[in-house]
């Protein structure tokens, strides 16, 4: 059983949990994900690892209740335990293979959108600890939806806040802020975008215009997390790839985002029906 050590609501709809999983914490690397099964009848839910602590033997997940199963996960309280937490799965970020000299010469810019801010944190943290220069843009529709501001500020060189409505930080889209930063003279060697698919698409188009290499994470496509269900099939560089076993990170220039967005919506009707008829069975006298 995987005990929940700490639970907190980052916003009214975004939950962070620290979960006891010593073997997983010891093996985890930036960019990877895990699978949570709430109880013995629960659906397998892939969630990107938002942090890991080898000393405490814990991993951190951030969940937004979108469907029935994520609603069940968020219903758990501190002291309760998930039936299964499996991982780490997927390929770690490519930058962990870089030499100390390469990292010291690097300047990363992360573009984090919404809940996608959480998986950016362990990547920025790892790079910061290994000598790379790291800037981060955190974007959200409004100030009340921003997460990880204090945590991210502690592991990057420059943190930039961006809100669509101008309620905090730069007023506008993350793409406009990225373009402004580059035009202001910041010389980045690598961009990484994690967030909503539409955000990653237009961030990639902006990066291409700026001549900036970009990596994107297709974790939102994953369902089964093993490659067997086929739900995360996506065309990358003209070939069919599986985000869960061959990713989740890919060269943004090579991703067919329009296909990915169509695939992302393929279960929307079924998920809406499941949530409408859902009765939460979690967190009752465990």
Each residue's pLDDT tens digit, 129-152: 999 999 999 999 999 999 999 999
pLDDT exceeds 80 at position 169: yes
Higher-confidence residue of 273 and 257: namely 257
Q: What is the length of the chain?
A: 286
Residue 132: phi and psi, rounded to 5, are -85, 155
Q: In this model, does residue 63 exceed pLDDT 50?
A: yes
Please state, rounded to an integer, the average pLDDT across all residues of the chain.
89
Identify the pLDDT of residue 156. 96
With pLDDT > 70 as the criterion, what percentage of the chain qualifies?
A: 90
Tell which wins on pLDDT, 235 or 266.
235
The listed CATH number (3.30.365.10, 3.40.50.80, 3.40.50.740, 3.40.640.10) that belongs to domain 94-217: 3.40.50.80
Q: How far apart are the first and last CA of the chain?
A: 12
Place of tokens 């967030």: 195
Q: Quickly tell me which residue has 């843009």 as its tokens.
A: 137
Tell me the CA distances in angstroms from 27 to 3, 33, 53, 87, 249, one per residue in order. Answer: 18, 11, 10, 8, 18
Give the domain ranges of the chain: 2-91, 94-217
Q: Is the pLDDT of residue 284 over 60?
A: no
Asked whether the predicted pLDDT for residue 270 surpasses 70, the reply is: no
Helices (H), 143-286: 149-153, 174-183, 197-210, 243-246, 257-264, 268-276
What integer pLDDT is reported at residue 268 of this predicted model?
Answer: 57
Banded model confidence at residue 271, pLDDT cuts 50, 70, 90 = low
The pTM is what? 0.88
The CATH class given to the 2-91 domain equals mainly beta
> Lowest mean pLDDT: which of 74-78, 226-230, 242-246?
226-230
Per-residue pLDDT band at 160 (split at 50, 70, 90)? very high
Q: What is the mean pLDDT of residues 1-7?
A: 92
Question: What would the mean pLDDT of 29-45 be, rounded to a whole number?
Answer: 88
């Amino acid at each position: 059983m995987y005990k929940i050590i700490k639970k907190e609501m980052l916003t009214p709809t975004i939950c962070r949990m620290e979960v006891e999983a010593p073997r997983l914490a010891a093996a985890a690397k930036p960019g990877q994900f895990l699978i949570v099964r709430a109880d013995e009848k629960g659906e397998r839910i892939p969630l990107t690892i938002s942090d890991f602590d080898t000393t405490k033997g814990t991993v951190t997940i951030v969940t937004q209740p979108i469907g029935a199963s994520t609603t069940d996960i968020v219903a758990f309280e501190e002291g309760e335990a998930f039936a299964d937490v499996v991982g780490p799965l997927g390929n770690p970020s490519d930058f962990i293979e870089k030499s100390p000299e390469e990292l010291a010469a690097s300047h990363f810019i992360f573009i984090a959108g919404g809940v996608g801010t959480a998986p950016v944190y362990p990547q920025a943290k790892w790079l910061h600890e290994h000598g790379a220069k790291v800037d981060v843009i955190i974007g959200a529709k409004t100030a009340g939806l921003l997460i990880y501001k204090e945590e991210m500020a502690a592991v990057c060189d420059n943190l930039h806040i961006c809100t669509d409505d101008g309620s905090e930080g730069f007023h506008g889209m993350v793409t406009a802020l990225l373009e402004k930063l580059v035009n202001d003279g910041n010389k980045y060697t690598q961009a990484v975008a994690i967030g909503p698919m539409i955000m990653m698409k237009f961030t990639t188009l902006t990066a291409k215009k700026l001549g900036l290499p970009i990596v994107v994470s297709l974790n939102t496509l994953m369902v089964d997390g093993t490659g067997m269900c086929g739900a995360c099939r996506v065309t990358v560089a003209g070939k069919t790839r599986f985000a869960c076993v061959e990713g989740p990170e890919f060269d943004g220039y090579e991703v067919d985002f329009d296909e990915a967005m169509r695939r992302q919506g393929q279960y929307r009707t079924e998920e809406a029906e499941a949530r409408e008829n859902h009765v939460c069975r979690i967190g009752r006298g465990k």
